[in-house]
A and B are shown apart, each in its own frame.
Chain A
Amino acid sequence: MGELAIEVTNVTKSFKVYQEGGQSAKERLIRAGRNPHIVFKALDDVSFEVKQGETFALLGHNGSGKSTMLKCIAGTLRPSTGRVVTRGRLAALLELGAGFHPDLTGRENIYLNGSILGFSKSQIDVIFDDIVEFAELSDFIDQQVKHYSSGMYARLGFSVAINVEPEILLVDEVLSVGDESFQRKCIDRVRQLQADGRTILLVSHAAELVRQIADRAAVLDHGHLVDIAEPGEAIRTLRETLARRGIALLAEDEDVTEPPPAPKYADPPSLTVPVVNVDKQVMITKVVAEYPDPDAKFLLPNQPMRLRIDYFAPERIDDICMAFEFQDPHGNVIFGDDTQTMEQPIHACDGVGAVCFDLPRVPLLDGAYLISVTATTRNGGQVYDRRDLQDRFEVMQPGRQRGTVALEPKVVHYFHDAGAAHETETDGSAHTGDAAAS
């Protein structure tokens, strides 16, 4: 082990971008003599290594250079400077069956595609049935592919690439093709390849997929390599780079983020009170989410957190209640509470002070969560001050679990053996399968 499957060393890829005009000789002649182009660096001095048997992901927003990087590794583009070295037979998952000819039958296309990937007819003969079966196209294999649905098309393309069993598999956003059951099958197959010790390079902006299957991930931003880390941390870095650019990272494969829906306050209603109030009786001056490690930029799942609300009350106010609310990246309110509901009322505010909510455990998974804070009267009738969605805390999840809430399930397996009921807990040492077999 420890051999490198892919070595990328100081790779820069620059393109000349012409601001106007097209590709014809006339337009090029017209441009000649002027300085018509700008040099655009799609990749800027990128280096990384992928070990054999590793699943490595390239993360980044659209235009970050991740697809250019993949093309340089696949050999369809050559870097301007720098080296790319690969070891082992390499196959790229062709997007939606690129390279299929609509007038040829599925069978003919499989052989053609196989030879494009560098396989001989006899090598394809061996795996032909597997390809057809995996693509679920047994009944249609001798039909022209132009009669295929787009799903069938994609399935066939995926099936060819994954069944030729390359030593290095390049996957570019294609795991999202086909229906859900086929997708699951694909991911299953990818895992099988992982278990076989194949190297996989995955390009995606689907953070959840990367979290599930990658061992390590590199984050690209504007052609620069920002970070190489475990998926959880890389996703956090990605989120940070996106946030700098004003894009929110959703768990799903989405490029455009809708603005979060306006916060809904069931109680207290605030519509009658003007939000901007120069002579507020209580002012929220600062909201901070304090992590156990003061230097940390994020929280780990199930760590404690303190939400501190600094206020300033010019005069003493007795009728006071503090409320807070957390929103997940999708704009759903995931938790809200206030000092009255908690039956831990604040007795009075006078001058400068801070109200803290201690959360002994924050059972959340990966994401940036937005905080809203409101200061009201005890019955909620009057809002003194509010601060909506301006502050946030972040959870970085190093593990592979999906979703929002950090539940901690344990496996309990009941089974029936020789008339006697057993109960085993799998805590890493006991294997129910072994028990059942013995």
Chain B
Amino acid sequence: MSTSIDPPTEHHEVLVPDRVSVSPALEVSKRPNPFQRVGHLWQYRELIANLTRKELKVKYKNSVLGFVWSLLNPLMYLLVFSVVFNIISEVPVPYYGIFFLSGLLAWNLFSTALGEGTSSIVQNAQLVTKVWFPREALVLASVFTALVHFALQAVVLLGALIAFKRVPDPTFIPVLLLALVVTLVLATALAIGLSAINVYLRDTQHLLEVLLLAWFWLSAIAYPYGQVVSKLNTSQFAGKEWLLALNPMLTVVISFQRTIYNPDYSGTSESALHEADTIPNHPMSWYLTHLSIALGVSLVLLFGALALFSKLEDNFAEEI
């Protein structure tokens, strides 16, 4: 009989349909593997777009200034840190504002995506309990929402660049783009893993807030990386700059600073000497290598996070 139902195979989620007109069988009780999860997310890309739109709309609905608020945040940071570092502690960084905003741009993207992504599953509890869809869509929507804010803040930075007549290094654009990809992949990977843990342990999101604060200060955003390297070279770890790359966000931040702040390595003036001190003059290949390693690590993390998510997802509807 041609209509007999084939026994389900272990490795295929979609079983063999017994008739052409019949919809394929879906074994809903089976955990999808990370690759299948990515496939589901692709199928639901429109949902991710809609959820992102929802986040953006909801965030600024009923507020008079709307998107202006997401611009005010970096401006306020800029003001505070400029006052603290330029006037009070006199960090020798010319155009400190541009320097600081370059790194902050990358950091804000990372911390917002990770923070919002981590709480996204719990915040959409009413959806998660009621209907099936790839739940990471909620995390991805948070990441993309952060990306939109990133674009807005980039506009602020662009304004500052024009105002101070500073020109980014166009040859380093590939470095900037790769750093952006690393930020997104790393934030997504961590957010997917933590969002699932957060369903069971609500402390996760609070703990993360504290950790992000420490991470910020470890990432050479407010102070120049060059100082860290020179301190390192006078210690027992002299010459082991790779140790600093253990923090992938540090690599990302200096990639942004190198491209956008674009320190003057000509050494023709006292100001230029100070600028050259902010970041050691590494070639582009140095950046690309470090970023590639960070990307590799992030992708492995992403795979692990998806596998963990698959397992923890079983009881979301009950635990949430």
Contact = CB atoms under 8 A, between A and B. Distances in A.
Contacts of B130: 74, 76, 92, 94-95, 98-99
Given A87-B24, A99-B126, A77 B50 contact: no
A77 B319 CA distance: 10
A78 B25 contact: no
Interface residues of B, number: 46
Given A3-B18, A103-B57, A167-B23, A76 B62 contact: no
B133 interface: yes
Contacts of B15: 85
A112 B23 contact: no
A111 interface: yes
Contacts of B128: 76
A15 B19 contact: no
A99 B315 contact: no
B275 to A, nearest CB: 46
A101 interface: yes
B132 interface: yes
Contacts of B25: 7, 85-87
Nearest to B49: A115
Contacts of B62: 103
A381 interface: no
Contacts of A24: 201-203
Contacts of A137: none
A167 to B, nearest CB: 6
Interface stretch (A117-125, A255-263, A288-296, A355-363): A117-125
B22 A76 contact: no
Nearest to A28: B201
Nearest to B135: A76
Nearest to A81: B29
Interface string A216-241: 00000000000000000000000000
13 contacts: A25-B201, A71-B129, A71-B317, A74-B131, A77-B315, A86-B28, A87-B23, A87-B25, A92-B130, A92-B131, A103-B62, A104-B58, A120-B46
Given A23-B201, A86-B26, A77 B317 contact: yes
A93 to B, nearest CB: 9
B8 A85 contact: yes
Interface of A: 3, 7, 11, 15, 23-26, 28, 52, 71-79, 82-90, 92, 94-95, 98-99, 101, 103-104, 108, 111-112, 115-118, 120-121, 144, 167
Contacts of B51: 112
B28 A85 contact: yes
B169 interface: no
B132 A104 contact: no
Closest 7 CB pairs of A and B: A75-B132, A88-B23, A78-B314, A84-B29, A115-B47, A76-B317, A75-B28
B127 A99 contact: yes
Contacts of A79: 29
A302 B44 CA distance: 56
B95 interface: no
B31 A118 contact: no
B313 interface: yes
A95 B131 CA distance: 10
A118 B133 contact: yes
Contact of B26 (A3, A87, A121): A87
A84 B28 CA distance: 6
Contact of A89 (B19, B23, B129): B23
Interface in B181-216: 200-203, 207
